[in-house]
Amino acid sequence: MYFIGNFIHATNQEETQETERRHGEFSLIIDAQDPYIAVRSFRDRIVTYRETSDFFQGDCSVYLIQLFEFDRFPVGQAMMINYKSVVGDPVLPFIRCSLPNDLTDSCRLFDWKNSIPEIDGQTEKLFLQFEAGSSRLLTEPDSLKFICNLVLGICDFRHKTPRQSHLF
């Protein structure tokens, strides 16, 4: 069975200044025989990250908020498993680390300029755009270039240069 655990965390809670404290979300995935083994594996991996990386620093709390179990992944139609909506305009930068491993934390700095995201100082390309009150697409991506950008980080659409995947 495949298990996906969704977590929220608060780190550096001993800090007196709000700007020094952090909170966020992450997910872990594993192929395990049962949910008990999966949860134990999640626990062990979080402990390893705390011991070997900059994740989960200082006074830290981690909460398992969802556990999904799949015997197979969806075929033919994508299934959404996480959707988050936050009130207000995006104002503060945040750090996202995709597929961190023993070789790299894969962290990037996300910021917002006029409600357009920037990653590591580069303005992101729009994926889809809708008009209020309509499901009609205003813009959609050039699918080949966009897929190239998404396939495990193998190539970078913004710079059109190949990039090594951290999985191989």
Most confident of 12-16, 68-72, 102-106: 68-72
Q: Where are the domains of the chain?
A: 2-70, 90-124, 128-168
| DSSP line for 138-163 | EE---HHHHHHHHSTTSEETTTTEE-
Model confidence at 95: pLDDT above 70 = yes
Express each pLDDT in 29-83 by its tens digit.
999 999 999 998 999 999 888 888 888 888 888 888 888 898 998 899 888 787 7
The residue among 129 and 141 whose pLDDT is bigger is 129
Q: What is the pTM of this model?
A: 0.65
Amino acid at residue number 1: M
Provide the residue type at 142 as one letter: D
Residue 28: predicted pLDDT: 92
